[in-house]
Structure 1
Amino acid sequence: MTNPRRFLPILDWGRSYDRSSFSNDMIAAVIVTIMLIPQSLAYAMLAGLPPEAGIYASIAPIVLYAVFGTSRALAVGPVAVVSLLTASAIGHVAEQGTAGYAVAALTLAFLSGGILLLLGVLRLGFLANFLSHPVIAGFITASGILIALSQFKHILGISAYGHTLPEMLWSMIAHLDQINWITMAVGFSAIGFLVWVRGNLKPLLRRIGIGPTLADFLAKGGPVVAVVASTLAVWSFDLEGLGVQIVGAVPQSLPPLTLPSFAPDLVGALLVPALLISVIGFVESVSVAQTLAAKKRQRIDPDQELIGLGAANLGAAFTGGFPVTGGFSRSVVNFDAGAATPAAGIYTAMGLAVAAVSLTPLIYYLPNATLAATIIVAVLSLVDLSILKKTWGYSRADFTAVAATILLTLGLGVEIGVGAGVAISVLLHLYKTSRPHVAEVGLVPGTQHFRNIHRHEVEIDPSLVTLRVDESLYFVNARFLEDLIQSRVATGSAVKNVVLLFSAVNEVDYSALESLEAINARLGDMGVGLHLSEVKGPVMDRLNRSHVIEQLNGEVFLSQFDAWHALKGQS
């Protein structure tokens, strides 16, 4: 019988919940709630949705993740990259500001939640490994650039559009005559203040004697100060009348009950973007969760994380939200604030619910430029162009994947960029494994070790060729090994025996098996013996189920040293 705690981790941590955990969780919830209010509004704007959608997407999803998720510090809600993907996906099927746009966002969250839930139930979390780190780094860097650039229209107070770098730049240049200088002053002032707060406020507070916990709390509240100050400025000086765009009226209510659309055309158009959002969101979320869990020697179950994130997205779909995942910045704040259990997320949701009911009138005069500044400063940490230099120096293949992902994301859009990055990574992997490293080895004098004859001073025997295969053998590289052995034996007339050192071979598929049979037959026709050494147990079990071992022109040796002593000097 399945243990219910397998799918309901709350039954595990909930049993040991005590007053100390409650105190720690409440403190963390207060800090995260203060941070999330302006952040949620900003990410809703980034997704092209009304500001209240950001708060709605931060209530039910947090609670559902607390029930089904395994991380004790992960804070779930809208994040920059997923918000950008949301805007890109639904921008192709509905016009921003319409009811259809909001319904498409709900449908996207529903599809993403369903995909994540299905992957979790089937324990397919490993599929996310097809997104290599260089591709993820390149995609996030390009997305950070696009996100920041997309918000400059709010900083400048102009109308602009576009989902790619060329479109955005051209559109902004074409509308420069619309610049509102007061809006620009508000926006750049907010950016400058937030940048200063991020790097300088906490050290300043520590120097004047404020404790580390309080100093950190005040520093994290920088965006709230920017929101309050700019809102008061717009209200006091009637800047709305001078052209400064504001948030306006936000409904005073708890998240409504909403329904996604199941129209076949809409579902078909959003299915691929939903898959990309699911995988990218999961990779980002589980990376953060594992990093924070390791600091407290806790364990994260990736498959259960899929279920937790799936439930969170389904919750967003039915409560007026849009796709969500675990955010890096808010999760780190949650962790640093002392969150002991996922209950901190539940308390955060309660705080946001109170804000949704009672505080929304206070943000009527909040300028869009301040929310844009919040997004720009938040995504600056996502942009890491140094990954290009690092991968260029380490692996040209990885550099190719990173550069292609960045360029295609900037030039053609986020969906094509990440899709192309994944495809390039897979193709590069296939290319590299199609030409496996095969080293001819000899005996290190005075030892039983064998090393590459081109790198070390080793003993060799002209009649004996030992090739160490440093890759599993399968259909992509099987023919390569055939050609290499044929070429090596043809150039050495004294060769009487060939030994394939299989210490690094973990798999031999049927295509490779047929290649081994072909190699054995050709060497037999040439009067050369084919031998195997150090074959791993699972590989040997599979080979024994075929006829290749009984038909072998030579022997299978337990160690390469045994093969050396048995075969050297034969004529």
Structure 2
Amino acid sequence: MKLLQRYLPILDWGKDYNKETATSDVVAAVIVTIMLIPQSLAYALLAGLPPEVGLYASILPLVAYTFFGTSRALAVGPVAVVSLMTASAVGEFTRQGTPAYLEAAIVIALLSGLMLVAMGLFRLGFLANLLSHPVISGFITASGLLIAASQLKHILGVKASGHTLYDILLSIGSRLGEMNWITFAIGVSATAFLFWVRKGLKKLLLGLGLKPFLADLLAKAGPVAAVAVTTLLSAAFDLAGRGVRTVGDIPSGLPAPQLPTFDPDLWLALAGPAFLISVIGFVESVSVAQTLAAKKRQRIDPDQELIGLGTANLASAVSGGYAVTGGFSRSVVNFDAGAATPAAGGFTAIGIALATLFLTPLLTNLPQATLAATIIVAVLSLVDLGAIKRTFTYSKSDFAAMAATILLTLFFGVEPGVVTGVALSIALYLYRSSRPHMAIVGIVPGTEHFRNIDRHMVVTGDKVLSLRVDESLFFANSRFLEDRVYALVAEKPDIEHVVLMCPAVNEIDASALESLEEINHRLADSKVSFHLSEVKGPVMDRLRKADFLSHLTGKVFLSQYEALCTLDPVTAHIAEARTPKKTAQSNVWAGPEI
């Protein structure tokens, strides 16, 4: 039963489901449904797909996540970044508006679902850690700018194309003379209205005496109001006949479930983009889920989240939708509205299904400029230019990865940006790990503590070299350790003992073990003993399985203080006799700071 609950979390939270919980979920579902209808239409158009496909991707996927997901507040469905990545990937193979384009988008959803489920079953959620936060932040910022730029053609009412910022702006600039001023007026007005709704409507309604919940609900319904008003204006004044592009006829009814056509060549060609979409979607989703879960002292299972998102994508593929993931804005709204369980997503799916059945004929005259305004306002909230400055100030290497991701995404496309960002993150990690921080340490007077001789007033002797390494030892840094030890011993001819402090060493791989053996051998040739101290239990267990300890010229000490007392009792006695000198404002021992 526990195994079944592990893969079907609904069996866990479902046993305590009651009327009160259901009420909370239904209220949250109503609010999210109101928000999701225009978003689904808009994101489908962003992906280059018919608007109804966005609605299809907001029904069965939510039901699937209700059964398999672990987050109580995550709202699954179409999102801007995944829509952009879908358009970029599918656009490489076929032209928008063709049946082949839709088929390819559905295949990406299917492949993403299969990959996510497989990753979850094999507990590979850690692979998402290959995307560092600066890379993710840079990618989302660049994607937000790219998405906003791609929607300018709808605001201006011109035909334009391109998957990079340069191509998009060049295409739009060459067609400015064809701008439709009525479309421009609708687009600018809708954008300004939605920005005002996001920033000021709730505050205004609270000032008028409305209760916070009602004020928040009306503020969240801003996009629906924009859709309703512009649709009515379009129908009343026949704006479609004046050159304003509208959504057009949206088929009513629900799609019949069916599997995509199996085309090995197409599936193989789309496997790479599908994997990137899977990883990006998972990282975005699990970040939101963990943040919201922490606020209620709940927890999520990242590996089960992979399965939950995977089944959601599989459900989307068989129901005529495209790739989905957990959306930030919708999830926050779902959380704030009081969603208590994943069942809120199931109720939202019912609301979207009803809208698909009965409301789509009312959207025929909806201007595309309104949907473009909805997208622009939503994605610009994801752009965090301040993070660029903060990252530059804190870490130049992380800034390099972030800047490369932003520039490549903007000017070369989504996939090159992500791949380069991941590659740079891994390369920079390996570079930093290959040159770990190592410090010569001495004993702090009057204590048993050892600190960096360059940062603290400490006592050292001439016989013992105490070297602390602040990184696990593996193939990338083992040679650096060797060179560091040999150089220090060459500088100090009176050294009789070298003690390697290992409090931060969580692992020693085979390459590092060979380096330790070589250090031990070469120091022995120089009549210097080699010792270890403060070795962690798991590391010690592995060392015992090798021959290293039997050939070690020195000992393994429980603590560095024990090592000093054994190897150089005179220095230990001097340190014990001295009175420590503290600075006036802190507990840091006085001495030069680096």
TM-score after normalising by structure 2:
0.95
- Pairing 1:393–2:393 present: yes
Kindly provide the CA deviation profile for residues 148-169 of structure 1, in whole angstroms up to 9, marking residues without a partner as x: 0000000001111111111111
Preserved contact between residue 463 and residue 570 of structure 1 (Cα < 8 Å): no
Return the alpha-carbon distance in structure 2 between the equivalents of residues 343 and 518 of structure 1. Answer: 61
Partner of 1:507: 507
Q: What is the one-letter code of the residue matched to 1:93?
A: F
Aligned residues of 1:502 and 1:532 also touching (Cα < 8 A): yes
User: Match of 2:533?
Assistant: 533
Deviating 4+ runs (over 3 angstroms):
none
1:550 alignment partner, SS class: helix
* Counterparts of residues 12-51 of structure 1 (less than 5 Å): 12-51=12-51
2:289 and 2:525 map into 1 onto residues whose CA distance is 59
1:437: which partner in 2?
437
Counterpart of 1:258? Answer: 258
Q: Partner residue of 1:218?
A: 218
Distance in 2 (CA, whole Å) between partners of 1:433 and 1:163 is: 36
Q: For 1:505-534, what per-residue CA distance to the aligned partner results, in whole angstroms no more than 9, with x for missing partners? A: 111111111111111111111111111111
Cα deviations by residue, 1:94-152 (Å, 9 ceiling, x for unpaired): 11000000000110000000000001111111111111111100000000000000000
Q: C-alpha offsets along residues 165-212 of structure 1, whole Å, 9 cap, x if unaligned?
A: 111111111111111111000000000000000000000000010000
Task: Report the Cα distance in structure 2 between the residues aligned to 1:470 and 1:16, rounded to whole angstroms.
Answer: 48
User: Which residue of the partner structure matches residue 327 of structure 2?
Assistant: 327
Name the CA distance, whole Å, in 2 between partners of 1:427 and 1:261: 39
Q: How does 1:46-57 map to 2 (within 5 A)?
A: 46-57=46-57
Counterpart of 2:167? 167
Counterparts of 1:119-134 in structure 2, within 5 Å, are: 119-134=119-134
Offset, 1:258 = 3.2
**Shift, 1:25, TM fit:** 1.3
| SS in structure 2 at match of 1:466 | strand
The answer as to whether partners of 1:106 and 1:259 remain within 8 angstroms in 2 is no
Q: CA deviation at 1:2?
A: 5.2
Residue ranges of structure 1 left out of the alignment (5+ in a row) = none
Equivalent positions of 1:31-180 (< 5 A) are: 31-180=31-180
Q: Is the 8 A contact 1:108 1:274 kept in 2?
A: yes
- CA distance, structure 1, for counterparts of residue 261 and residue 505 of structure 2: 50
Aligned residue identity for 1:184: F
What are the within-5 Å matches in structure 2 for residues 540-551 of structure 1?
A: 540-551=540-551
How far 1:256 moved relative to its partner?
2.8
- Deviation string for 1:360-413 (max 9, x for gaps)? 010000000000000000001110111111111111111111111101111111
Write the distance in 2 (CA, Å) between the matches of 1:198 and 1:2: 44
Match of 1:417 in 2: 417
Give the secondary-structure state (helix, strand or coil) at the position aligned to 1:382. Answer: coil
Question: If the length of structure 1 is used for normalisation, what is the TM-score?
Answer: 0.99
The structural deviation recorded for 1:541 is 1.2
Are residue 240 (structure 1) and residue 203 (structure 2) matched? no
CA distance in 2, matches of 1:446, 1:109: 65
The residue type paired with residue 278 of structure 2 is S
1:9-47 deviation line (CA, Å, top 9, x unaligned)? 111222111111121111111111111111100000000
Between the aligned partners of 1:64 and 1:367, the Cα distance in structure 2 is: 32
1:188 matched to which residue of 2? 188
- Amino acid in structure 2 at the alignment position of 1:185: A
Identity %: 64
- Secondary structure of the structure 1 residue equivalent to 2:440: strand
SS across alignment from 1:476: coil
How do residues 459-470 of structure 1 correspond to structure 2 at under 5 angstroms?
459-470=459-470
Structure 2 gaps of 5+ residues are 572-594
For residue 536 of structure 1, report the CA deviation from its aligned partner.
Answer: 0.9
CA distance in 2, matches of 1:294, 1:455: 37
Separation in structure 2 between the aligned mates of residue 445 and residue 530 of structure 1, nearest angstrom:
25
Aligned residues of 1:501 and 1:532 also touching (Cα < 8 A):
yes
Match of 2:517 in 1: 517
1:242 Cα deviation after fit? 1.1
The residue type equivalent to 2:406 in the other structure is: I
* Deviation sequence 1:221-253 (CA, Å, 0-9, x none): 000000011111111111111100000000011
The CA distance in 1 between the partners of 2:331 and 2:555, in whole Å, is 58
In the TM superposition, 1:245-324 aligns within 5 A as 245-324=245-324
